[in-house]
């Protein structure tokens, strides 16, 4: 081929230049491939349509696709569905501005595994026209995992901090922290409230400025507990009786402790103080201590405090060679007031009595309430027993003036027993025992008086205690028995009833009359089980006579005030009638006027219930008490029993005759039967018959009979020889 003449140099040089260009291009491609192959970043090259035209090994590792699998694919197909909308929105925004695209998203492999990637994309331009994109793809799964761990740790730390903050603000204790220098670094809400400082205001201030504490007893500044905890590197307690001053000057009692704060290396970096307000609990403790030693009603010292002060007074009197006196006081007839006017009035009266006793005593004396209506006065360091007598006389005079309580004028007198140290005892127990013995003697001597302890009183007290103990044994071993005294119809002369009278067959004392043990039984409360035995035995005996086809008569049983007011009285009567099978018409209960007049509403209710049962009711010793027509009409009474004190001189004493005539007339008008007790002579009997008295009872007819003798009387046999009359034959239970 012939070369053209013209442009021969150009023609000759053109292949060389092309070769050079091709060689340079091959070198460039080789370098690109070498760089691409060793690059830790995946490279994804796409054409203008977005189809893959090149990928490097790093991309193959990230995507899980080889070159052939990736060729022709679109880069966006691997975006995790949950990330797709976000990433493509960013891609479109970048495309509009023809700017580099950056994004982090999850690469979803064909096997379902996920790789977190960060992609950077740049556009390949041909002038202003895009020829495709080059994307670098970085595996950031490990970084994302680390970020996730850090984020979870941060969230956990935040939650822990928030939880701690909520906890510290929720607990009832105040919490305050300091640095090594003792400056405040933290306060919870309770600490803010108790100190009056907000946490922002307190931060960096010295603890002594924010947490001002003093000793509650001496008011001296208390040691800084935080600095102590730091210095000793141990938990320390606040000083006892510590008081915190609020920022406004108010005070509150606090207690608790301070402890050091350590860093991770175990070094002390500060201290934390935990404290709480104990003002209420401390006041409550003081109140409880006061209540433990004082009577709740009158706030006077109680027996415990009296015993303590008495022991102290004995010690002082022994050292100073002085005497002391102990006065035991009992309110006469307080129970009557309490029962008739109610416990509210009774409590107010006790308040008034306590105030009058304190006003009458010296400032150095101790006035104590033992309980109920019993009080004690301790006279410390008297010169002679007469000093105690003067105090007792002053007290009796003070109580001669009536008390005005809730609109009632109440007359209350005192019975006082006095023991003196050292003559009547050299310790608290003996002095109190002897004063109580003297008090019992004062009550037995007519009340409204005082008695000094005398040695012979102990003999009586010991005898009384022995009888009480013997009564307990008698109840257990069944040493009681009943005698029955007939009641006679004064018109026909026939026996119409009987009264059950208790006797005690004491193994040591023999047959013991009621007046020797009934008062002691009433004082000790033993009258309840004894009275229950009497009621059951009387009902059992009458039923036994009925079962033996004897013409049994109703039997009357005396009921004491203690029995009548017992909560189980009504149920007990019903139970005994049911157990013995006795028809209620054969039982008559005798009660005194004073029993019925105390708490009239309650008495009426009990009497109505007894009447409903079918039990007959009688008023014993009528005329010696209130003798009020109003209560006679109010209560369902069947019989009035004229006291023997009026019958004894009925034929010779005009006053007694008038009283008996009035009682019988009243009973006739009220359609009630009348029985006169204590009939001993024919003259008395004739007088009572003339007044139309219904029934009679007394030695003129018969002495009390044993159960066998009374049975023979019921059977019409000869009366048993009457026992010798004793002082107790006219006493009944």
Q: What is the pLDDT of residue 458?
A: 64
Residue 114 in this model has a pLDDT that exceeds 80? yes
pLDDT digits (tens, 9 = 90+) for 53-108: 899 998 999 888 888 988 988 888 889 999 999 998 888 888 776 567 899 999 99
Q: What is the pLDDT of residue 218?
A: 76
Residue 555: is its pLDDT beyond 60? yes
Of the pLDDT bands very low, low, confident and very high (cuts 50, 70, 90), residue 561 is confident
pLDDT (0 to 100) of residue 162: 65
In this predicted structure, the answer to whether residue 356 has a pLDDT above a threshold of 90 is yes
How many C-beta neighbours within 10 Å does residue 655 have?
9
The pLDDT tens digits for 208-230 are 889 988 887 777 888 888 888 88
DSSP 8-state assignment for residue 123: E
pLDDT digits 0-9 by tens, 614-630: 999 998 877 665 555 66
For residues 456 and 133, give the distance between their C-alpha atoms in angstroms, rounded to a whole number: 130
pLDDT at residue 157, rounded to an integer: 72
Q: What is the mean pLDDT of residues 29-38?
A: 75
Give the model's pLDDT for residue 172: 73
Query: For residue 733, what pLDDT is reported?
Result: 44
CA 685 from chain centre, in angstroms, equals: 65
Instruction: For residue range 116-156, list pLDDT tens digits in order.
Output: 999 998 888 776 677 888 888 988 888 888 888 888 877 77
pLDDT value at position 629? 60
Write out pLDDT tens, residues 42-55. 899 988 888 898 99
CATH of domain 21-139: 3.30.450.20
Domain ranges of the chain: 21-139, 171-283, 294-453, 467-714
- Please determine, for residue 470, whether its predicted confidence score (pLDDT) is greater than 70: yes
Q: What is the model's pLDDT at position 367?
A: 94
Within 13 Å of residue 219, how many CA atoms lie on the same side as its CB? 1
Nearest C-alpha neighbor of 271 from the set 206, 210, 192, 183: 183
Per-residue HEC secondary structure of 626-681 comes to: CCCHHHHHHCCCCEEEECHHHHCCCCCCHHHHHHHHHHHHHHHHCCCEEEEECCCC
* Residue 22 confidence (pLDDT): 76
Q: State which fold the 467-714 domain adopts.
A: TIM Barrel (3.20.20)
| pLDDT computed for residue 543 by the predictor | 96
CA pair distance 408, 336, nearest whole angstrom: 14
pLDDT at 729: 44
Q: For position 631, what pLDDT does the model report?
A: 63
Higher pLDDT, 483 or 363: 483
% of the chain surpassing 90 pLDDT: 35
pLDDT at 96: 74
Work out the average pLDDT over 248-254: 86
Q: Which helix (H) or strand (E) holds 488?
A: strand 480-489
| CATH homologous superfamily of 294-453 | Reverse transcriptase/Diguanylate cyclase domain (3.30.70.270)
Residue 279 has pLDDT above 90, yes or no: no
> For residues 571 and 606, what is the distance between their CA atoms, to the nearest angstrom?
11
User: Considering the chain, what is the average pLDDT of its residues?
Assistant: 85
Helix, strand, coil % in the chain, rounded to nearest 5: 45, 25, 30
Per-residue pLDDT, 728: 41
Q: Can you tell me the distance from the alpha carbon of 255 to that of 251, in angstroms, rounded to the nearest whole number?
A: 13
Give pLDDT, residue 170.
Answer: 67
Tell me how far apart the alpha carbons of residues 514 and 212 are, in angstroms, rounded to a whole number: 76
Q: What is the mean pLDDT of residues 434-442?
A: 90
Using alpha carbons, select from 28, 60, 56, 30 the residue that is nearest to residue 43.
56
Give me the residues paired with residue 642 across strands. Answer: 622, 676
pTM over 0.75: no
pLDDT confidence of 585, banded at 50, 70, 90? very high
The pLDDT tens digits of the residues spanning 293-337 come to 888 899 999 998 999 999 999 988 888 888 999 999 999 878 778
Give the architecture-level CATH label for domain 171-283.
2-Layer Sandwich (3.30)
Is the fold of 171-283 the same as that of 294-453? no
Region 575-597: what's the mean pLDDT? 90
Residue among 378, 374, 418, 414 nearest 398 (CA): 414
């Amino acid at each position: 081929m012939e070369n053209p003449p013209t442009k021969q140099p150009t023609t000759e040089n053109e292949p060389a230049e092309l070769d050079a260009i091709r060689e340079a291009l091959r070198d460039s491609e080789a370098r690109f491939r070498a760089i691409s192959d060793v690059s830790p970043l995946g490279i994804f090259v796409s054409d203008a349509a977005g189809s893959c035209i090149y990928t490097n090994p790093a991309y193959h590792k990230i995507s899980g696709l080889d070159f052939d699998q990736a060729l022709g694919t679109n880069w966006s197909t691997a975006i995790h569905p949950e990330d797709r909308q976000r990433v493509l929105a960013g891609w479109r925004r970048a495309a509009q501005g023809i700017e580099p695209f950056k994004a982090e998203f999850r690469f979803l492999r064909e096997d379902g595994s996920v790789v977190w990637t960060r992609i950077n994309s740049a556009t390949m331009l041909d002038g202003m026209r895009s020829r495709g994109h080059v994307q670098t793809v970085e595996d950031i799964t490990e970084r994302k995992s680390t970020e996730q761990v850090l984020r979870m740790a941060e969230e956990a730390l935040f939650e822990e901090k928030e939880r701690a903050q909520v906890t510290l603000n929720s607990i009832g204790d105040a919490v305050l922290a300091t640095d090594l220098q003792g400056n405040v670094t933290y306060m919870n809400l309770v600490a803010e409230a108790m100190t009056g400082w907000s946490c922002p205001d307190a931060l960096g201030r010295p603890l002594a400025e924010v947490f001002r504490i003093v000793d509650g007893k001496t008011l001296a500044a208390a040691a800084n507990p935080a600095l102590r905890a730091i210095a000793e590197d141990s938990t320390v307690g606040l000083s006892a009786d510590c008081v915190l001053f609020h920022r406004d000057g108010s005070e509150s009692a606090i207690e608790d402790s301070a402890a050091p704060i350590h860093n991770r290396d175990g070094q002390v970096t500060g201290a934390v103080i935990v404290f709480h307000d104990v003002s209420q609990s401390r006041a409550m403790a003081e109140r409880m201590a006061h209540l433990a030693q004082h009577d709740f009603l009158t706030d006077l010292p109680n027996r415990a405090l009296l015993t303590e002060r008495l022991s102290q007074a004995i010690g002082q009197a022994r050292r100073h060679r002085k005497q002391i006196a102990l006065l035991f006081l009992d309110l006469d007839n307080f129970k009557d007031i309490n029962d008739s006017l109610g416990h509210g009035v009774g409590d107010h009266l006790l308040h008034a009595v306590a105030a009058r006793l304190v006003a009458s005593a010296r400032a150095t004396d101790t006035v104590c309430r033992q309980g109920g209506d019993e009080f004690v006065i301790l006279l410390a360091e008297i010169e002679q027993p007469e000093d105690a007598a003067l105090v007792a006389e002053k007290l009796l005079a003070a109580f001669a003036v009536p008390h005005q309580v809730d609109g009632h004028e109440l007359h209350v007198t005192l019975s006082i027993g006095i023991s003196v140290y050292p003559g009547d005892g050299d310790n608290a127990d003996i002095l109190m025992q002897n004063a109580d013995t003297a008090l019992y003697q004062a009550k037995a001597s007519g009340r409204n008086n005082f008695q000094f302890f005398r040695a012979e009183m102990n003999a009586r007290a010991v005898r009384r205690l022995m009888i009480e103990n013997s009564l307990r044994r008698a109840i257990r071993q069944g040493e009681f028995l009943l005698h029955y005294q007939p009641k006679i119809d004064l018109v026909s002369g026939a026996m119409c009833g009987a009264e059950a009278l208790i006797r005690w067959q004491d193994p040591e004392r023999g047959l013991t009359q009621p007046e020797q043990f009934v008062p002691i039984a009433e004082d000790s409360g033993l009258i309840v089980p004894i009275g229950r035995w009497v009621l059951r035995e009387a009902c059992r005996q009458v039923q036994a006579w009925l079962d033996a086809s004897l013409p049994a008569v109703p039997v009357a049983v005396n009921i004491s005030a203690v029995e009548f007011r017992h909560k189980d009285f009504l149920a007990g009567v019903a139970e005994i009638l049911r157990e013995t099978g006795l028809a209620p018409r054969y039982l008559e209960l005798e009660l005194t006027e004073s029993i019925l007049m105390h708490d009239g509403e309650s008495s009426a209710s009990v009497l109505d219930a007894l009447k409903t049962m079918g039990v007959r009711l009688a008023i014993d010793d009528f005329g010696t008490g209130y003798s009020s027509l109003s209560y006679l009409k109010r209560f369902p009474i069947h019989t009035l029993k004229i006291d023997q004190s009026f019958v004894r001189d009925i034929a010779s004493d005009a006053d007694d005759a008038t009283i008996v005539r009035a009682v019988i007339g009243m009973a006739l008008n009220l359609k009630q039967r009348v029985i006169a007790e204590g009939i001993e002579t024919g003259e008395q009997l004739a007088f009572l018959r003339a007044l139309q008295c219904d029934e009679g009872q007394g030695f003129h007819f018969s002495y009390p009979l044993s159960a066998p003798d009374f049975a023979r009387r019921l059977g019409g046999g000869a009366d048993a020889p009457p026992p010798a009359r004793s002082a107790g034959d006219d006493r009944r239970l």
